[in-house]
Amino acid sequence: MAVLSTSWQFWAFLAAIFAALTAIFAKIGVDNVNSDFATFLRTLVVLVVLGLILSVTRKFQSLSSISPRSAVFLVLSGLATGASWLCYFRALKLGNASQVAPVDKLSVVLVAVFGVLILGEHLSVMGWIGVALVGTGAVVMALS
């Protein structure tokens, strides 16, 4: 298990499982709730749980330990996360989870493209084929 806990693949797979459960639970939960309020409630839960985790593991950091550059990009990431969640819950309110979630996963395609353009990352031919397959799959699911 120690090997798994240091494997990015293990944690990415868990993230995928929890993301799938997020879509299912959110679709059920947003049924008779305003999607923006549902996002707010979800955010409160995340905030409390992360606060508890940081307290128990004693991993809180002082804000002064974060560089200004990191702070700016973490704030931008937080704003992007909030916007993503608001849009995601609105889409779930209006559409089927089985169609909304795959379209949301077009973020995989966009991350690959942005990673190359902004971060200077390199994808292999197989990587680009995977990106194309994910994009095609999302479009097919959205149109079904």
Helix (H, G, I), strand (E, B) or coil at 6: coil
User: Are 115 and 68 found together in one domain?
Assistant: no
Find out whether 33 and 39 touch, Cβ atoms under 8 Å.
no
Tell the residue number behind the tokens 């979800």, with chain if given. Answer: 42
Q: Residue 116 has what pLDDT?
A: 96
Count of domains forming the chain? 2
Within a domain: 79: yes
CA distance 53 to 59: 8
Q: Which domain holds residue 17?
A: 2-95
Q: Residue 1 has what pLDDT?
A: 62
User: How many Cβ atoms sit within 10 Å of the Cβ of residue 81?
Assistant: 12
Within a domain: 100: no
Q: What is the mean pLDDT of residues 5-30?
A: 89
Within a domain: 64: yes
Q: Residue 117 has what pLDDT?
A: 96
* Per-residue pLDDT at 2 exceeds 90: no
User: Are 33 and 10 found together in one domain?
Assistant: yes
Within a domain: 26: yes
What would the pLDDT profile of 25-82 be if each residue is shown by its tens digit?
999 999 999 999 999 999 999 999 999 999 999 999 999 999 999 999 999 999 999 9
User: Are 14 and 65 found together in one domain?
Assistant: yes
